Chain A
Amino acid sequence: MKRIGYILLYLCLGGVALFQVFPIIWLFLFSLKDNREIFAGSPFALPSELRWENYVKVWEGGIGTYFWNSIWITAVAIILTVLFASMVTFAITRMKWKLSKLVLGLFMVGLMIPIHSAIIPLFSMFLNVDLIDNPWSIVITYTAYNLPITIMILLGFYYTLPREIEEAAIMDGCSIHRMFFKIILPMTAPVMSTTVIINMIYNWNEFVFVNTFISSDAYKTLTVGIQNFIGQYMTDWGAIGATLIISVLPILLAFIFFSNKVVEGISASAVKG
């Protein structure tokens, strides 16, 4: 009886997994086809010939610079976001001050602004401080726009941290900064990895800001590289597929790395708990 239940359970989970994994398989097949096959054939039909030239085309399109820009902009923005968000969350959940609720409210409102109504004001602001066509405008925009969601996710975890830890640290004469960096941050490593993954996905795939604030090829990121293959009347979908596959690889690897960190962190804290 129990066995049948398990089989059913795995069938369900496996079914869901299949449903979730198929885009990557599809995308890979897609990246080896030409427009005719992509539009007319079944999505899972094998390409009639393997068009690796799609990848060559993409690579020759100068994707290397875009690649590097994507990596460093994503990384710096993640570090800033997660650090600032942790600090704010710490101050809001663990420290006592009158305006904490209000400040939290402000961050939550930040979650609600639609991107397209923000870009025009942002553009004119960056223009005034000469940050247009400067990758730092992208970094700080990513940081600011991901702070709210990062704080929201951290919040729930910070509330569950036992107070005794802080009490003990302070009794020990530990300074508050030391406590934050040496005790609190390591303890929240699992949830931090979760927010790193989420930030990474958002930053890596972000498109509207880069497109609007950056004009030099030297500062563009991978998502903009896709634009190269979208034409006025015709679009080279095979090449877009290849770009997408190339661009998803690093994030896939980083994701596997960080999600192992989640588990590591969890088992470590579970032992402690």
Chain B
Amino acid sequence: MKGKKAITKLVILLFSLVFVLAACSDDDASSDGDSKVIKFMHLWPEGSSKTHYEIVNGIIEDFETDNPGVKVDLEVLSNEQYKDKIQVLSTSDELPDVGMTWAAGYLEPYVNGNKFATLDDLLEGDLADSFVAGTAEAYALDGKTYGLPLELNIATIFYNKAIFEEYGLEAPETLEELEQVIETLNDNGVAPIALGNKDRWTGSLWYMYLADRIGGSDVLTKAIDRSGSFEDPALVQAAEEVQNLVEMDAFVKGFNGLADEEAKSMFMNEQAAMYLIATWDLPNYTTNEDVPQEFRDSVGYFHFPTVDGKGDMNSFVGGPGVGLFVAEDSDVKEEAKDFVSFFVQEWGEKSVTEAGVIPATKLDANSLELPQMYVDVLNDLNSASNLTLFADVQMSPDAAQVHLDMIQAIFGNEVTPEEFTKAHEDALSAEE
């Protein structure tokens, strides 16, 4: 009988647990007492991105001093884990008050699901005219802006000047010249281009530039926003050019199985002569003390060459990286918006001088002490005729996956250029 009683108790206890678990009760305690707490998540851990991390902490400290009664509660995750966690949090309406987002396609589901607050009031107020043209727009949907960018990157081809010199090569300005460079390097047993296409967006950069040069700077954007078509002959030809490059062994061996990081290290260990990457890598070639001075001095960059005399070398692939969002159902929305505005203003100059990030806010390059390569890149940005946002960011998450898979397939010679463009067209038109 004693056992019976114990079991009854246990059953009641456990069943009540089940009931509580099943019951839905939404209570959010963002503000405790009179001090308000802003939950903030970012993706720059101390271990790998120390300067970013410290700048953020400095900004938070300043903000808290300026706004007594408001506290910022921080959670830091690494890139992949950050994305996963945001996904989980959003299913339960538990997004942090302020967090990081990517532009265009990434933020679309969040906007449609009414999770992000509009930030247009900030853009018209404190932050009026402070962003580089085209950056904040990448976070806009139907005329409203849902995120404020922190970084701005453009992709260029970095090359090893020492290797080029050794074989009497010059930075190419046309695809033909590039192909000659590749041939010479191959003849001398030097791997021409480092490419880590396991990550797929890396190969996408090559394809995007070829499309830009062949079909003009808006052909890809139009195909994606459906005012054009992905079966445009220029887009087919760009895919053909990709296969030509693969055919002539332009890329390091086994590139489809290499991570970008492995490819980068091949370039940095002088095992490959060229590397197409965005300017977030600049510190490695300028200020990063862990990289030997000799190597840093030997790195230069050139704009993606023209193809058959077509294309504008001042048209870039790139765009803003991460940006800040404010959660729509945040209990401290006003404070969160203030924080975002404060953050963006403080971030600009500090990020470039301390962390080597090119911010999306306007900068006066001449007033700052910067390495020459930064000055050059900032000048390029000023004279840029066009900036095409990374294709996988432009597209919706679903179509982006198709694009990325197809990139691996075209580089791996597993599909024809026609199949390549058709798959894109199908995926994009399915979403119309």
Contacts and interface: CB of A to CB of B under 8 A. Distances in A.
Interface string B7-27: 000000000010011111100
Nearest to A133: B75
A215 interface: yes
Interface residues of B, number: 41
A129 B92 CA distance: 13
A5 interface: no
Interface string A122-143: 0111011100100000000000
B299 to A, nearest CB: 14
B20 A232 contact: no
A263 interface: no
Nearest to B295: A36
A133 B144 CA distance: 34
B248 interface: no
Contact of B85 (A124, A125, A212): A212
B123 to A, nearest CB: 25
Contact of B45 (A123, A215, A229): A229
Contacts of B321: 232
Contacts of A35: 265, 290
A215 B37 CA distance: 15
Given A39-B265, A125-B21, A128-B20, A232 B49 contact: yes
Interface stretch (B125-133, B157-165, B266-274, B359-367): B266-274
Contacts of B368: none
B91 A236 contact: no
Contacts of B49: 231-232, 234
Interface stretch (B76-84, B109-117, B172-180, B233-241): B76-84
B200 to A, nearest CB: 16
A227 B23 CA distance: 34
B48 A231 contact: yes
B262 interface: yes
Contacts of B20: 128-129
B85 A211 contact: yes
B280 interface: yes
A40 B94 CA distance: 43
Contact of B265 (A36, A58, A230): A36
B375 interface: no
Given A34-B290, A39-B262, A228 B47 contact: yes
Interface string B348-364: 00000000000000000
Given A128-B20, A227-B78, A228-B45, A233 B269 contact: no
A120 B47 contact: no
Contacts of A64: none
Contacts of B269: 36, 39-40
Nearest to B151: A232
A234 B46 CA distance: 12
B7 to A, nearest CB: 13
Contacts of B89: 123
B54 interface: no
A123 B85 CA distance: 10
A192 interface: no
A230 B78 CA distance: 6
A50 to B, nearest CB: 16
Nearest to B278: A233
7 contacts: A40-B269, A120-B91, A125-B22, A212-B84, A212-B85, A229-B47, A232-B44
Interface of A: 34-36, 38-40, 57-58, 61, 119-120, 123-125, 127-129, 132, 211-212, 215-216, 227-236, 239
